[in-house]
Amino acid sequence: MASSGHGFETPSRLGCAMLQSLNDIADLVLDLWREAELPLTQAEQRRLRSCITSSQHFTAKFSNRLRELINHREPNPETPAWLEMIDDFFQAPPDRPMPTPGQRNIEYMHEWVAIVELILPFVYFDAIVRTRSFDDDVMGRIELAYLVALEIPRNVTEAQRLYDAILSCPQERIQATVYGWETIPQPFMAQMLFALLLSRHAEPDSALWRFQLQCLQTCPDYLLDIPELVVHAPGSYRPAFWLAYQVTDPLFIDILLERGSAEVQKRVEENQEYRRKRRRDYQLLESNTPDQAESWFDGLPESQRSFAALLMEFEAFLQEHAPDICEGLRPGIQNDQLQKLNDALSPLRLTDDLATLYKWHNGIEYGGFLFGFPELFPIEEVLRDYHETIEMCKNAGGEWSVALLPVAYESQVYRLASLTTESQASTPMLYHDIVEGTVMVQHTTLFQMIQTYLQAYREGAVYYDEAEEDWEIDEDHFNRIRLLYSPNASMDSGSTQGVYDLYEPESWPPEWQAHRL
């Protein structure tokens, strides 16, 4: 069977009576991408295969690359035969027993979620939704942000098809619990998909915008009757979260406040307040100094001259050996922005070395690499997270010190710096895992942190993986270098050296205790 451009079938795979393994499916997906002339490098092809066959996660860089290739490519309106073959595989994998009647268990759940994302260039999303393997568990695990970034639905045709699928979704949720499969009276999948339909930002008065408006005005009430957290149903409120987070059109927001459940209304109001605070923080920290009007090291205290020289040495090394990293470094902040930030943190303020670091570069662009997971935020995000963390701890009654400044956050992991009430030369760089509840000293000072990274790049502890086409860190090698420069820092997760328990404030340093919530 020859390729026909959009929606082609792949002859080598469709000759099989059944897909026999995840490797077969990976071969099929790679065939699809190749025959559609969506260019993947050898490293990207290996990563794609790993995402399907071994539960490897998409990196931000790989997701961005896929998004560039997928967006604006309209699939064939006909559902291809290979989608049914994939569905059959996940319903009854050859190396697993047949599911019992009515069972909604899917083997290889993570791999199926990855496949859903990888076949989106070739099939309308509603066709995937209508497969037997796309159930509430899958919907709960799919990262809606990725689908939103892929601009799903891409046009009115896809939006209409998706809405029709939404209306055909079950009126209940089948949820796996410790007690077995439980039926919950929430149309979770329909509500999540409706949130996706409305999350697509369309130009006002465009055809897609008018279709979204009509759906929002006339949809059945149950699509907006989203509950709070339901026992045994984690994430039951998530449709309300996504509606509140993604829908920004003022008219749409008014309708959500009028038609939505109490949970929807609460989430929308909370998000409006969040957006106001975020705009305030960004406006507060806007510079009045023209770009390039001052050198980043102008006005530095004498104590920071050696640190500034080290930062310039570090950047010179990166420019010569890792120019792609330099491209992701944001311009440094101006002196007036630093003053505004310190005013916003008053009576606390940045230590001199943290101020110097942000004058050098104001964090990393999203998807960039410099220090590894998690990367440093720009100061606007730092100030927002600082306020949010304090508010969250107050509301939850948790232990925290306002002298701790989150400078990076991702997946329950913080990088923290210490604030000070008076001029202070340095701060340690701290690592905080929310789940563990510990705060560990990663680097005794920021000077020692940059020394560590410079040496790690030189020795290859931080290296470019040619096979994966991405930057990696050899953790064992890196930690040996880290402890060479910061011998009093935390040695590892099992060590008590340089480790503080957030739930035992009496163990905190005095400056943290002085500003305990």
Q: What is the pLDDT of residues 301-322, one digit of tens each?
A: 889 999 999 999 999 999 999 9
**Which value, to the nearest 10 degrees, does the dihedral of the CA atoms of residues 407, 412, 418, 420 take?**
80
Q: Which two tokens stand for residue 463?
A: 């290296």
What's the angle, vertex CA 40, arms to CA 36 and CA 41, rounded to 5?
A: 150
The more confident residue out of 236 and 309 is 309
List residues bridging with 440 in a β-sheet. Answer: 431, 499
Q: Which two tokens stand for residue 140?
A: 């709960």
Q: Kindly write down the DSSP assignment for every residue of 29-70, as one continuous string.
A: HHHHHHHTT----HHHHHHHHHHHHS-PPPPHHHHHHHHHHH
CB 121 within 8 A of CB 66: no
In terms of average pLDDT, the best of 167-176, 325-334, 385-394 is 325-334
The more confident residue out of 31 and 60 is 31
CB 498 within 8 A of CB 491: yes
Of 59-63, 151-155, 485-489, minimum mean pLDDT range: 59-63
Percent above pLDDT 90 for the chain? 44
Q: Does the pLDDT of residue 290 top 50, yes or no?
A: yes
Q: What is the pLDDT of residue 150?
A: 78
Q: How confident is the model at residue 4 (pLDDT cuts 50, 70, 90)?
A: very low
Place of tokens 């559609």: 36
The CA distances from residue 216 to 186, 202, 245, 464, in Å, are 19, 14, 16, 48
**At residue 102, what are phi and psi to the nearest 5 degrees?**
80, -5
Q: What is the pLDDT of residue 15?
A: 44
Q: Does the pLDDT of residue 454 top 50, yes or no?
A: yes
Domains of the chain (ranges plus CATH)?
22-88+105-265 (no CATH), 302-514 (3.40.1580.10)
Q: Is 492 exposed, middle or buried (0-12, 13-18, 19+ CB in 10 A)?
A: exposed
Query: Average pLDDT of 369-397?
Result: 86
The more confident residue out of 232 and 387 is 387
Residues 6+ apart with CB under 8 A from 202: 208, 209, 212
Q: Which amino acid type is present at position 334?
A: Q
Q: Does the pLDDT of residue 177 top 70, yes or no?
A: no
Q: Which amino acid type is present at position 96?
A: R
pTM: 0.72
The more confident residue out of 398 and 163 is 163
Q: How confident is the model at residue 349 (pLDDT cuts 50, 70, 90)?
A: very high
What's the angle, vertex CA 244, arms to CA 243 and CA 248, rounded to 5?
A: 90
Q: What is the pLDDT of residue 18?
A: 63
Q: What is the pLDDT of residue 112?
A: 87
Q: What is the pLDDT of residue 127?
A: 94
Q: How confident is the model at residue 178 (pLDDT cuts 50, 70, 90)?
A: low
Residue 137 parent element (H or E): helix 136-141
Q: What is the pLDDT of residue 252?
A: 97
Q: Which amino acid type is present at position 354?
A: L
Q: What is the pLDDT of residue 8?
A: 43
Q: Does the pLDDT of residue 207 top 50, yes or no?
A: yes
